[in-house]
Amino acid sequence: MRLRSVSIAAFAAALALAAGCREDTGLRFSHALHAEEAACSDCHRGDEGLRTGMEPCKDCHEIDEQNPSEACLTCHTRAGDEDYAVSKAPRGRTYADVVFDHDPHEVVDCSRCHGATAGAENLAGVEFPGMDVCMGCHDGDQAPAECSTCHSRIRVGQKPPSHDGLWEKRHGKRGDLREATCRLCHPGPDACRTCHRAEKPRSHTLGWKDRSHGLEARHDRDNCRACHTATFCSDCHREAPRSHSPRNGWLASGHRIRGAAERENCRVCHTRTEASCLACHPQGY
């Protein structure tokens, strides 16, 4: 049985070699292995960009395309082997109007745009930059932020592909959005207020002020700050809450019971709890 398996493997190898080192066969390639000895520009030269072909490989590997040898199987898999096929290699999204030249970006480390590609064990780990990565430098200070810097056709009034019918409902939850990216089209602090001050969020029901906002604010203060400044709370909370009424016996016993059970709630206003308590309890409590 073992002899038969060896014969089948040898026959498969012969078929692969007879077909030559073809570009459409499966491909094994580890950026992590090559990045130890070579710079990105050693393989990605000039206008060749992403798909470099085999020419750069010949600098280190002995390749004879007319007379392929067993060495071809180092990178090209046998037909039928389950490996990452060249046809499935990830490709960056391209736009016809995007203008990009690597030469001015030579001073930028490759990983700044391509992430952990240098450590990828296979082609599935290759990373391509999105516009948010570009905006990390093109903020108007470090590099120009005008659309015409990178786009040859500026379509005034046309929304980005992300701004579909559900965009208004879900844009606030897009944690990957950079503020600088939004401001390209929505400049100034009033851009958000145009919608968010004209219409309250759905959570702000009639019972919001009395029953819900305190709990929500404790869990996510940053969400509140999207519309409300730091002084917004003090505008209402300068007055004692309704629970602090003498009619409710607050000072006599109510505050002690509530304070023991809900100390975090007290600290919303009484940030230095010890000092607040000692104002009335100089002998301790």
Q: Where in the chain are the domains?
A: 2-129, 219-278
Lowest-confidence region among 57-66, 202-211, 250-259: 250-259
Lowest-confidence region among 184-188, 214-218, 252-256: 252-256
Phi first, then psi: give them for residue 106, nearest 5 degrees: -60, -30
The model's confidence at residue 14, banded by pLDDT at 50, 70 and 90, is very low
Q: Please choose, from the candidates 125, 120, 25, 37, the residue with its C-alpha nearest in 3D space to the C-alpha of residue 73.
A: 25
Q: Please choose, from the candidates 91, 100, 172, 95, the residue with its C-alpha nearest in 3D space to the C-alpha of residue 124.
A: 91
At 177 the pLDDT is 61
Tell me the CB-side half-sphere exposure of residue 249, using CA atoms within 13 A. Answer: 6
Region of 53 please: left (phi>0), alpha (psi -120 to 50) or beta.
left
At 202 the pLDDT is 78
Between CA 121 and CA 126, with CA 122 as vertex, the angle to 5 degrees is 100
Q: Is the pLDDT of residue 6 over 60?
A: no
Q: Is the pLDDT of residue 131 over 50?
A: yes
Q: Is the pLDDT of residue 213 over 50?
A: yes
**Mean confidence (pLDDT) of the chain:** 71
**Interacting residues of 36 by C-beta distance below 8 A, sequence separation 6+:** none
Length in residues, the chain = 285
User: Cα torsion at 183, 189, 195, 201 (round to 10°)?
Assistant: 110
Q: Which of 3-17, 114-128, 266-280 holds the top average pLDDT?
A: 114-128
At 49 the pLDDT is 58
